[in-house]
Structure 1
Amino acid sequence: MTSRGTEGRQTVVISGAARGLGRALLRQCAARGDRVIALCRRPEALAGEPGMVEAVWLDLADETAILGLADRLGGTPIDLLVQNAAIRGATGGLAEVSGADLAAVMAVNVLGPLLLTRVLRPNLMAGCGRTVAMISSRAGSMAEGLDPDGDYAYRCSKAALNMATRKLAYDDPALTFLLLHPGWVQTEMGGPDAEVPVEVSARGILERIALATSADSGTFRTWDGRPVAW
């Protein structure tokens, strides 16, 4: 369970916070009084957001920038880290698979979250919640993730993120690591046929995080609490 401070306020870091699900999470956290550190490539997009929101430039494809957060956020206790940033990559099936595209997707969707966890671990240990929530996807499930599309790179990256998070949970019992499938969300990435309103998904994700305990570390659930098969 993510512990809230004596004033009922947490410090929450959210990656990919300038749009879509990340922005909905930011707004809901800010509305409940949390301090939000919003990591994004377009900090100017968050100008005028109400509440205690600090926008910090970060491109998860840039290892140097990720490592630089150690200095930028040094000494700041963090209660909750929500790793939401992701890219989709080519969607044209096997014909469009390339080393460059696969490497780019894996860099943002897998390596980036691992490095961000490493860099911010001291901050998380200094906080109360000590929780890392990875926004994964059912698309990375071996059992449930086969659909008629051409998303080779994205699906492979989410499967890799799932394993990486399981390994983090195994290696680091001091933190709670959660894998969360947000649903088919009505965002730019989700497309026009998506089923779940972004505000509903964000609310469900925050509820799952609030209810989680250390015993849930390494588990994979949907935004509304259902287990996802590996």
Structure 2
Amino acid sequence: MLLTIHHSPFCADDDTTFQISTVITHMLLQPFKEPSVETAAQEINQLSVQWSQQTLDDSTDTRKGSAFVWFVWTEICFIARQIPYCFPAQETLVRFIAAMRDVPDDVDGKWRELNYFGWAARDALNDIKEGSQEEINFYSFTAKLTRDSTQDFSLWAIWCFRDIIEDEPSATAPAWWRAQAAQKAAPELDARLPVAALWIDILGEKIYSKRLLSRQCCERTWDLEE
């Protein structure tokens, strides 16, 4: 199965976004050699330098330098949703995000801190149809970023688990209410269960350990208060 990646709609109207997308897709679609995420990260950073200089020199350009960072993350999120969760290219994209954090001449720390990436990811998720293959792909991407401690999206996993196990009506509720709730929940379970399984497969042990540690910290706090 061949991997096909489409540019985002923004590329048609913005040359900078097209250049960003071209660098990333070229990195992902090299069939005969191991893609260099470090080289691609440096190319993106160089585009950022050029962008900053352009907006500085052009007094009529009201766009801020931080807009470039947003363009990068938005384009990456658009690409991530297209890559099947089981394809090696997704791991490459995950490694690319980590490489962006290690760009050597990151003067203002915008890459090291992954500024705006969480917001861009949330925006992308809101734009994806629930239960679609794109949603599964994108959740897999964020789970792997969390697995590698590049960016923490573990709260998304908790929200997903909550949707599955915490919305069951009480056993003392009227039968008609429970029947109505079950009918309403069925489509949501169909959409949420594959995503939950993905989170558990990629990140289950890490999430469990993190939540267990959080619970132990809370218990110690309660002991101190007593």
Shared fold (TM-score greater than 0.5)? no
Report which of the two has the higher share of strand.
1
Q: Higher Cα Rg: structure 1 or 2?
A: 2
Calculate the TM-score normalised by the size of structure 2.
0.34
Q: TM-score, normalised by structure 1?
A: 0.33
Higher relative contact order (CA 8 A, sep 6+): 1
Structure having the larger proportion of residues in helix: 2
